[in-house]
Amino acid sequence: MNSSTRKSAAESEGPVQEGWVSSRKRTVDAYFDGFRASDHEAILALLSDEVVWVIHGHWRREGKEAFDREIENDAFEGRSKLTVERPIEEGDTIVAPHLGEGQLRGGDAFRFAGVTVFGFNGELISRVESYIVPLRG
């Protein structure tokens, strides 16, 4: 490719890299930070209008409005504790293994291991697929 046809970093397709962390990984970090803080606006700003969220075996939600209603689920109280283990990026997808803990209404703790797969349309999250496994003990 000669210099007249070479794309600059800003013009190239895919996530912009700063250091070793891509802009999409930073978006996923901001997504989890938003859930830790129950910050609806911060989370919704990261999503495409047509976002789809699936928690496999439980439900599917489409669009920002439906997504917004699930950010703070009525079965829980307080803020979730979330620890992202090691996000993995391939193309327009980021896979984020994580551990979490929330407080169920009535006092019981809900601990879980999960993997969430994020699909992107440009720099916005367009699909969220979560696989959640409750932990005992």
Sign of the CA dihedral with 73 first, then 57, 30, and 67 last? negative
Q: Could you give the domains of the chain?
A: 21-135 (3.10.450.50)
pLDDT value of residue 22? 93
- State pTM to two decimals: 0.82
pLDDT value of residue 19? 56
User: Is the pLDDT at 90 greater than 70, yes or no?
Assistant: yes
Q: pLDDT by residue (tens digit) across 61-87?
A: 999 999 999 988 888 888 889 999 999
Q: pLDDT by residue (tens digit) across 13-51?
A: 555 545 578 999 999 999 999 999 999 999 999 999 999
- Rg from Cα positions in the chain: 17
